[in-house]
Amino acid sequence: MPLALLVNPHSAHGRTLKLLPKLEQRLDALRVAFRVERTRGIDDGVERALRAVEAGEVPVVLSGDGLIGAVGGALAGSDTPLGIVPGGRGNDLARVLGIPTDPEEAAAVLAAGHTRRIDVGEANGRRFLGIASIGFDSEASRRANETTWLRGNLVYAYAGVRTLLGWKPARFTIRAGGESKRLSGYSVSVANSRAFGGGMFIAPDAELDDGEFDVVAVGDVGRLRFLANLPKVFKGTHVEEDEVRVFRTPRLELSASRPFPVYADGEHLTDLPVGLRLLPRALSVIVPARDGE
């Protein structure tokens, strides 16, 4: 099937446009048929992806996690795979799937055409592929999206510190499996994938195809201890701390003592209260072949 390259020209301050020539040259060398379309936003990108499917093409998103998540959510339930070329600031889904950030290497993955089916999450009916964050993490995501003067992963560190300075603990209520859990603290992350925020492994044991969310709740600790534990998130060892609780469920409802946005794949999906559920193995993604395949 020919490829439809959906390019977000504004992703990562125009980084995608710098990657595009190398991607095109490599696909030509590999004799892969493709065409290129520049998107004008997430909704426009989704519409173009669905038209590509109707035309018998494979949508390939060259952008960040926001457009990748939206297009992947729209393709959920179909047999058409999603192609990914990392082009954003975080590139967390590609990181977990093992898709190279180098455009020429990513082109080789597309040409090989190996696929894997992964789960898709829903938050109040809005689909996502990575991690839905609520509380401190969603406030930090909002601040990161509003910060345009920093590039790369530094924006996430800056947003986290700025959010921490004004943070006050919130009370969260989680309903899952007929039980209610209440805690006071920083955040609740509902994870389909392992990483967000440019390589922070908030749910180190999460799997994209196990049919369950890993729910990671961070309880109340002092700001200095919270800040000291932040580096552990990049290794996933923070889950060993007493204030961190982890459990698994395919469905849950979440509310809090004050309003919070719900962010996933770097985008604002909805607001609290929120109902979340998982669609098992609903999406096919082009990925590198794993050992033995």
Instruction: Report cis status (omega within 30 of 0) of the bond before 273.
Output: yes
Question: Is it the case that residue 153 has pLDDT exceeding 80?
Answer: no
- Angle 223-233/154-165 helices, nearest 10 degrees? 160
- Predicted confidence at residue 158, as pLDDT, reads 81
In this structure, what token pair is assigned to residue 46?
Answer: 């989704």
- If asked whether residues 133 and 260 sit together in one domain, one would say yes
Asked if residue 40 belongs to a domain, the reply is yes
Average pLDDT over the chain reads 93
- Predicted confidence at residue 292, as pLDDT, reads 54
Asked if residue 148 belongs to a domain, the reply is yes
Asked if residue 237 belongs to a domain, the reply is yes
- If asked whether residues 146 and 95 sit together in one domain, one would say no
CB 190 within 8 A of CB 249: no
State the Cα–Cα distance between residues 284 and 47, nearest whole angstrom: 18
- The parent domain of residue 94 ranges over 3-113
Residues 105-114: what's their mean pLDDT? 97
- If asked whether residues 134 and 274 sit together in one domain, one would say yes
In this structure, what token pair is assigned to residue 100?
Answer: 């190279």
State the Cα–Cα distance between residues 114 and 254, nearest whole angstrom: 36
| Exposed e or buried b per residue across 210-228, where buried means at least 16 C-beta atoms within 10 angstroms of its C-beta | bebbbbbbbbebeeeebee
With cut-offs at 50, 70 and 90, classify the pLDDT of residue 239.
Answer: very high
- Predicted confidence at residue 150, as pLDDT, reads 65
- If asked whether residues 37 and 74 sit together in one domain, one would say yes
- Predicted confidence at residue 6, as pLDDT, reads 97
- If asked whether residues 95 and 13 sit together in one domain, one would say yes
- If asked whether residues 57 and 192 sit together in one domain, one would say no
- Predicted confidence at residue 212, as pLDDT, reads 98
- If asked whether residues 187 and 162 sit together in one domain, one would say yes
Residues 49-66: what's their mean pLDDT? 96
Instruction: Return the residue matching tokens 């999450």.
Output: 121
Residues 43-47: what's their mean pLDDT? 96
- Predicted confidence at residue 47, as pLDDT, reads 98
- If asked whether residues 60 and 149 sit together in one domain, one would say no
Asked if residue 290 belongs to a domain, the reply is no
Q: Which of 113, 143, 164 is the last residue of a domain?
A: 113
CB 192 within 8 A of CB 208: yes
DSSP 76: T
With cut-offs at 50, 70 and 90, classify the pLDDT of residue 140.
Answer: confident
Asked if residue 293 belongs to a domain, the reply is no
Write down the pTM of the prediction.
0.92
Asked if residue 289 belongs to a domain, the reply is no
How many C-beta atoms lie closer than 10 Å to residue 252's C-beta?
20
- If asked whether residues 140 and 109 sit together in one domain, one would say no
State the Cα–Cα distance between residues 275 and 265, nearest whole angstrom: 17
- Rounding to the nearest 10 degrees, give the CA dihedral for residues 16, 21, 27, 29: -160
Triad 247, 125, 110: Cα angle to 5°: 85
Tell me the HSE value of 138 on the side-chain side, using a 13 A CA sphere. Answer: 23
With cut-offs at 50, 70 and 90, classify the pLDDT of residue 38.
Answer: very high
Q: Which of 87, 113, 139 is the last residue of a domain?
A: 113
With cut-offs at 50, 70 and 90, classify the pLDDT of residue 283.
Answer: very high
State the Cα–Cα distance between residues 187 and 135, nearest whole angstrom: 4
> pLDDT digit string (tens) for 155-204?
777 888 888 888 899 999 999 999 999 999 999 999 999 999 889 999 99
Asked if residue 90 belongs to a domain, the reply is yes
- Predicted confidence at residue 10, as pLDDT, reads 82
Pairing of strands 213-219, 115-123: unpaired
Asked if residue 120 belongs to a domain, the reply is no
Spatial neighbors of 94 by CB under 8 A, at least 6 apart, are 68, 84, 86, 101
- If asked whether residues 219 and 272 sit together in one domain, one would say yes
Percent pLDDT > 90 in the chain is 78
Instruction: Return the residue matching tokens 């986290």.
Output: 160
* Helix (H/G/I), strand (E/B), else coil: 157: helix
The CATH number assigned to the domain holding 160 equals 2.60.200.40
- If asked whether residues 32 and 91 sit together in one domain, one would say yes
Q: Which amino acid is at 283?
A: L
- Predicted confidence at residue 227, as pLDDT, reads 86
- Predicted confidence at residue 151, as pLDDT, reads 62
User: How many domains does one find in the chain?
Assistant: 2
The CATH number assigned to the domain holding 65 equals 3.40.50.10330
Triad 49, 279, 64: Cα angle to 5°: 40
Q: Which of 54, 84, 113 is the last residue of a domain?
A: 113
- If asked whether residues 263 and 160 sit together in one domain, one would say yes
